[in-house]
Amino acid sequence: MLNPHLEHLKDYPFQRLRELLADTAPPPGMQPINLTLGEPQHPFPPFVSDVLNQHQEGYGKYPPLAGTDAYRNAIAEWLNRRYALPGGMIDPGRHIVPLNGTREGLYMIAQVAVPRVKDGRRPAVLIPNPFYHCYVGAAVAAGAEPVLVPTTAETGFLPDYTGLDEDLLRRTALIYLCSPANPQGAIADKAYLRRLIELCRNFDIVLLLDECYAEIYYDAPPPGGLEVCAELGGDMSNVLVFHSLSKRSNLPGLRSGFAAGDPDIAATFLRLRSYGGATQPLPVQAASAAVWRDEAHVETNRALYRAKFDVAIQKLSNRFGFRNPEGGFFLWLDVGDGVEATKTLWSEAGVRALPGEYLGRPSNGPAGGDGGNPGSPYIRLALVAELAQTSEALDRLSQVL
């Protein structure tokens, strides 16, 4: 009676964490500090509320699925500015798909990009391991085989897609890549992206670049997929990038993001969404346009994260395999056994972490690997709390572990 493919979906990481810690509690009198969820806690731009109020009459209208002209133009202007794209490369009416945040789009796009059969066989979807669970859910719901490609210190914490067997690549329909990576913070450079785009075009694969952490970085801004497409002549075939205001602008509750790239994929995506996709209310579109046009709050936000990573460098350097992430806001710490360390941190230090094991799976199969879960030795910490609380959490972690 139910879709049998869904049996392959395990409990979501945060449900597993609740079960793991259900019978333990922090030490009496110790204030708990939760560093599990990547939910930004910095202030969002103060003008957002004003824009929402100014356009509140829009709540009484059905919004256009493809977004207003003003909204799509603001997104196109930001892409051009952020990635120095040549004029005319981005057509707001052909290359942009507004989304209710990126998770919805990253999940739903698999219904567009995964055929029933590829190379006469069940299609494969390539996913970094560890991974954002939305990717696996999308592959399973589309009837594809999720193939997990290890991302370890030896691979620079990025998946080696170009080194995979050609037989696997011939049946691959879709590749997911998150850069900066969740959870490790690694950034795919232009050479890596260029090789990956060329691979996808050679094997007729759709490349989905999850760039939602692209505006949070320590030193240099991460390159983007469309930036590399521009350097390859402006052709965006096979490539779709995803961006969101959740991390960039501390607006996870606004549910505002977009996909952009290959116009044929974008048009088909919009057609599918006309049947089952949720549209953004007109006031949200107006507020989103204003936020994409403002950079001052983004620079302030980036500085707040940089200050917390400076504290992490001071307190954790040369311990737990610490490496300052190039982008994003997670620490990926090698503690030997992430599940046991998580229990210890909660029961003895009142710090709630996420075991890396819950973000990955055993890595044997078509993509190779030694059969182990590459996330098992790690914990993930989201440095989203304010500076003093973050510093306190890292002190407690250092003392207990």
Q: What is the pLDDT of residue 278?
A: 85
* pLDDT band per the 50, 70, 90 thresholds, residue 3: confident
Quickly count: other Cβ atoms within 10 Å of residue 124's Cβ: 26
How would you class 18 by CB atoms within 10 Å of its CB: exposed for 0-12, middle for 13-18, buried for 19 or more? exposed
pLDDT tens, position by position, 112-160: 999 999 999 999 999 999 999 999 999 999 999 999 999 999 999 999 9
211 & 262 share domain: yes
263 & 364 share domain: no
- Which residues contact residue 215 at a Cβ distance below 8 angstroms, ignoring those fewer than 6 apart? 221, 247, 248, 298, 301, 302
Q: Of 247, 264, 294, at which residue does a domain stop?
A: 294
Quickly count: other Cβ atoms within 10 Å of residue 165's Cβ: 10
User: H helices then E strands: how many in the chain?
Assistant: 15, 12
* Average pLDDT, integer, range 255-264: 97
88 & 223 share domain: yes
CATH classification at residue 93: 3.40.640.10
Closest Cα partner for 65 from 282, 261, 287?
A: 282
237 & 138 share domain: yes
Helix (H/G/I), strand (E/B), else coil: 327: strand
Q: Of 294, 326, 360, at which residue does a domain stop?
A: 294
304 & 287 share domain: no
Residues 304 and 307: their CA atoms lie apart, in Å, by 5
Alpha helices in 11-115 (DSSP H): 13-20, 47-54, 69-83, 101-108, 110-113
pLDDT tens, position by position, 60-96: 999 999 999 999 999 999 999 999 999 889 999 999 9
How would you class 201 by CB atoms within 10 Å of its CB: exposed for 0-12, middle for 13-18, buried for 19 or more? middle
- Expressed as residue numbers, the domain containing 312 is 4-43+297-400
Q: What is the pLDDT of residue 276?
A: 86
39 & 52 share domain: no
147 & 124 share domain: yes
Number of domains composing the chain: 2
283 & 302 share domain: no
Listing DSSP states for 182-211 in one string gives TTT-----HHHHHHHHHHHHHTT-EEEEE-
88 & 21 share domain: no
Whether residue 180 is preceded by a cis peptide bond, meaning omega within 30 degrees of 0, is yes
119 & 231 share domain: yes
Residues 166 and 124: their CA atoms lie apart, in Å, by 12
CATH classification at residue 316: 3.90.1150.10
Q: Which amino acid is at 265?
A: I
Quickly count: other Cβ atoms within 10 Å of residue 61's Cβ: 9
Quickly count: other Cβ atoms within 10 Å of residue 84's Cβ: 10
Alpha helices in 232-262 (DSSP H): 245-248
Q: Of 237, 259, 294, at which residue does a domain stop?
A: 294
Quickly count: other Cβ atoms within 10 Å of residue 1's Cβ: 3
Global pTM value: 0.95
pLDDT tens, position by position, 320-376: 999 999 999 999 999 999 999 999 999 999 999 999 999 999 877 787 777 789 999
338 & 288 share domain: no
163 & 221 share domain: yes
Beta bridge partners of 246: none
pLDDT tens, position by position, 14-46: 899 999 999 999 999 999 999 999 999 999 999
